[in-house]
């Protein structure tokens, strides 16, 4: 009997217990590199990068090495997809060669088509629609920073409400019952389908999802201020127009002063100081961006353990 692979294409693919399991594994991976040193020995993970990457590539390659898995890194131009091979045929071939696929691409529909035909887990390491691996790392960073406090703080996302980070935060907040405020300029609202899905889930979990054009209102009383670049990969042609539209939506000391006492600032990087975030905030005492970046390694390792750990190995049982 075949086993249905555990894909992570969207944060919405994960139940609340799934998220808690991954966060727990992340904590154990961070506490000691040797705890899972051979957990994925004999496994091979394909890492496909159709978009440039710094943190994601480092995190996935280092995570595989720490878990004892071999990794094969491929650029988009290395694949036969550009010569007419279908995503489904590629998925069937990958399934015969490797134990999991981590894919960074543009169209989310490409990931979904590939995953439907794949017999092994497929992990979305970034698409234009969502970035679930970043969100899982961010959730761990928030919990770590709060030193065991129960619940989730109110989070204000200030910037492009239609980018993959805003979408993933909507879905994660809805699933976890969080208070999320998204502040965006006119014309940069979340995808309507993502927003409908998040609001439907929020009605079940009690999450509070607020979408506004007022960054000050979003930041007031928030425990976390979060931002992302205003001009993402592939949007350089419209850079001037975007910078004009986003004026007033940067995180600076004045906006941070509206947040709750002890609030901290997050950015998934790369940061453009002086645009979406002020330099003295990025590099200031209330920034956790460097912990956030480091945690990508531990979180990625945890995601791979969750995807491939259908039955706990000796290493998994020993460290549980």
Based on the residue annotation, tell me whether 228 is a catalytic residue of this protein: yes
Kindly state whether residues 161 and 112 are assigned to the same domain.
Answer: no
Catalytic pick from 29, 64, 268, 307?
268
Asked whether 110 and 87 are in contact (CB, 8 A), the reply is yes
Catalytic pick from 55, 66, 296, 298?
296
Kindly state whether residues 306 and 252 are assigned to the same domain.
Answer: no
Ranking 32-36, 48-52, 163-167, 258-262 by mean pLDDT, the lowest is: 32-36
In a domain, 4, yes or no: no
Read off the pLDDT of residues 231-263 as tens digits, 9 standing for 90 and up. 876 677 789 999 999 999 999 999 999 999 999
Kindly state whether residues 303 and 156 are assigned to the same domain.
Answer: no
Spatial CB neighbours of 147, under 8 Å, sequence gap ≥ 6:
none
Read off the pLDDT of residues 178-208 as tens digits, 9 standing for 90 and up. 999 999 999 999 999 999 999 999 999 999 9
Query: Residue 276: its pLDDT value, please?
Result: 98
Domain that holds residue 218: 132-293
Based on the residue annotation, tell me whether 268 is a catalytic residue of this protein: yes
Rounded Cα–Cα distance for residues 209 and 183 (Å): 11
In a domain, 2, yes or no: no
- Starting at the edge strand found earlier in the chain, the sheet holding 44-49 runs 70-75, 44-49, 100-104, 122-126
Provide the domain count of the chain. 2
Based on the residue annotation, tell me whether 292 is a catalytic residue of this protein: no
In a domain, 226, yes or no: yes
Q: What is the mean pLDDT of residues 293-313?
A: 85
Query: Residue 273: its pLDDT value, please?
Result: 97
Read off the pLDDT of residues 37-46 as tens digits, 9 standing for 90 and up. 999 999 999 9
Q: Is the pTM of this model over 0.75?
A: yes
Kindly state whether residues 126 and 236 are assigned to the same domain.
Answer: no
Read off the pLDDT of residues 119-164 as tens digits, 9 standing for 90 and up. 999 999 999 999 999 999 999 999 999 987 899 999 999 999 999 9
CATH number, domain at 18? 3.40.50.1370
Rounded Cα–Cα distance for residues 285 and 75 (Å): 37
In a domain, 302, yes or no: yes
Based on the residue annotation, tell me whether 199 is a catalytic residue of this protein: no
Checking if the pLDDT of 116 tops 80, the result is: yes
Catalytic pick from 6, 108, 134, 175?
134
| Confidence class for position 84, pLDDT limits 50, 70, 90 | confident
Kindly state whether residues 173 and 209 are assigned to the same domain.
Answer: yes
Q: What is the mean pLDDT of residues 56-71?
A: 97
Kindly state whether residues 188 and 276 are assigned to the same domain.
Answer: yes
Kindly state whether residues 243 and 284 are assigned to the same domain.
Answer: yes
Catalytic pick from 131, 181, 242, 298?
131
Query: Residue 34: its pLDDT value, please?
Result: 83
Query: Residue 310: its pLDDT value, please?
Result: 42
Q: What is the mean pLDDT of residues 52-64?
A: 95
In a domain, 233, yes or no: yes
In a domain, 280, yes or no: yes
The pLDDT > 90 percentage for the chain reads 85
Checking if the pLDDT of 315 tops 80, the result is: no
Kindly state whether residues 273 and 162 are assigned to the same domain.
Answer: yes
Query: Residue 312: its pLDDT value, please?
Result: 36
In a domain, 205, yes or no: yes
Catalytic pick from 7, 104, 108, 242?
104
Kindly state whether residues 155 and 282 are assigned to the same domain.
Answer: yes
Query: Residue 82: its pLDDT value, please?
Result: 62
CA dihedral 203→6→312→57, nearest 10 degrees, is -100
Asked whether 205 and 177 are in contact (CB, 8 A), the reply is yes
Query: Residue 317: its pLDDT value, please?
Result: 38
In a domain, 20, yes or no: yes
Kindly state whether residues 44 and 68 are assigned to the same domain.
Answer: yes
Kindly state whether residues 85 and 26 are assigned to the same domain.
Answer: yes
Ranking 32-36, 164-168, 252-256, 294-298 by mean pLDDT, the lowest is: 32-36
What's the chain's average pLDDT?
A: 93
Query: Residue 2: its pLDDT value, please?
Result: 62
Checking if the pLDDT of 284 tops 90, the result is: yes
Based on the residue annotation, tell me whether 80 is a catalytic residue of this protein: no
Q: What is the mean pLDDT of residues 268-279?
A: 97
Kindly state whether residues 207 and 191 are assigned to the same domain.
Answer: yes
């Amino acid at each position: 009997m075949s086993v249905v692979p555990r894909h992570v294409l969207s944060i919405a693919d994960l139940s609340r217990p799934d998220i808690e399991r991954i966060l727990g594994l992340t904590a154990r991976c961070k506490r000691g590199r040797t705890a899972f040193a051979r957990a994925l020995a004999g496994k091979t993970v394909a890492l496909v990068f159709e978009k440039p990457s710094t943190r994601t590539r480092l995190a996935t390659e280092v995570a595989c090495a720490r878990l004892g898995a071999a990794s094969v890194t491929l650029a988009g131009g290395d694949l036969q997809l550009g010569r007419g091979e279908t995503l489904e045929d590629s998925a069937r071939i990958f399934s015969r060669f490797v134990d999991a696929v981590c894919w960074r691409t543009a169209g989310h529909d490409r990931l979904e088509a590939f995953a439907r035909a794949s017999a092994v887990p497929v992990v979305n390491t970034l698409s234009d629609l969502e970035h679930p691996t970043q969100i899982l790392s961010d959730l761990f960073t928030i919990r770590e920073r709060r030193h065991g406090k129960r619940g989730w703080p109110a989070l204000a996302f200030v910037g492009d409400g239609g980018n993959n980070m805003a979408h993933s935060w909507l879905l994660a907040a809805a699933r976890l019952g969080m208070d999320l405020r998204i502040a965006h300029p006119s014309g940069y609202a979340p995808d309507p389908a993502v927003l409908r899905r998040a609001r439907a889930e929020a009605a079940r979990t009690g999450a509070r999802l607020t979408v506004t054009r007022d960054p000050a209102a979003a930041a007031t009383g928030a425990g976390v201020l979060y931002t992302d670049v205003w001009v993402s990969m592939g949007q350089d042609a419209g850079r001037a127009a975007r910078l004009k539209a986003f004026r007033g939506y940067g995180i600076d000391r004045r906006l941070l002063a509206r947040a709750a006492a002890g609030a901290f600032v997050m950015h998934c990087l790369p940061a453009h100081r002086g645009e979406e975030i002020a330099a003295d905030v990025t590099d200031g005492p209330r920034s956790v961006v460097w912990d956030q970046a480091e945690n990508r390694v531990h979180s990625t390792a945890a995601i791979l353990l969750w995807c491939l750990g259908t039955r706990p190995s000796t290493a998994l049982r020993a460290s549980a």
